[in-house]
Amino acid sequence: MIRKYFFVFIIFALFSAKLIAQIDTTQNVFEEEKAVKNPKVAMILSGVLPGSGQIYNGKIWKVPIIYGLFTPLAYMFNSFNHDYKVYKFYLTLADRDSITNSLYFTEPIYLNTTPEQLLSTFDNTRRKRDLTVFAFALIWTLNVVDAYVDAELSNFDVSEDLSMQIYPSVNYCMGNQYLAFNFKFYF
């Protein structure tokens, strides 16, 4: 019986200590506080020039990611737009007389194509070009939203007093006693 109470006492003693994160003594006591960022300024900057809102917020590492997404889209748009213009030119020629078609269809891929095939390819290329424009606009919008959210969260206070306390307790349920551990988080 005494052993049982001694064991419970030891458990209470061990787990009733308050667990606190260590204080960082390497920090400069006179360190300047972070500048508060204006979300509207960050949003306008990113809307005018992609990535400039991220630079304003101090998240320079995001700029290569943004331009890494824009660059292939710009290349794809340029390629699809060029193909669109070429197919449009050959479609206008296909509407003309068949004698003139044989004079203008000098590229090997267009020699044995029908106007229906050209129209289908023309529509497919136009659709891909339009989807590229949509993806470009979507990434630009996400860039603006990211700059706004980063600026809003720069004002978020992360307290230095993050701690947790574990202590034992006795719970009662239907007339029975149970030993339990309670956790308290401070932030």
Q: What is the tens place of the pLDDT at every residue in 3-54? A: 666 666 566 555 555 544 455 555 555 555 567 889 999 999 999 999 999 9
Domain that holds residue 83: 36-159
Indicate the pairing of strand 176-186 with strand 163-173: antiparallel
175 within some domain: no
Q: Is the pTM of this model over 0.85?
A: no
Cα(172)–Cα(6) distance, integer angstroms: 21
Find all residues with CB under 8 Å of 8, minimum gap 6, and list them: 179
Domain count of the chain? 1
Within a domain: 155: yes
Higher pLDDT, residue 181 or 129: 129
Do the domain assignments include residue 90? yes
Q: What pLDDT, on the 0 to 100 scale, is given for residue 43? A: 95
For 60-85, the pLDDT digits (tens) are: 999 999 999 999 999 999 999 998 98
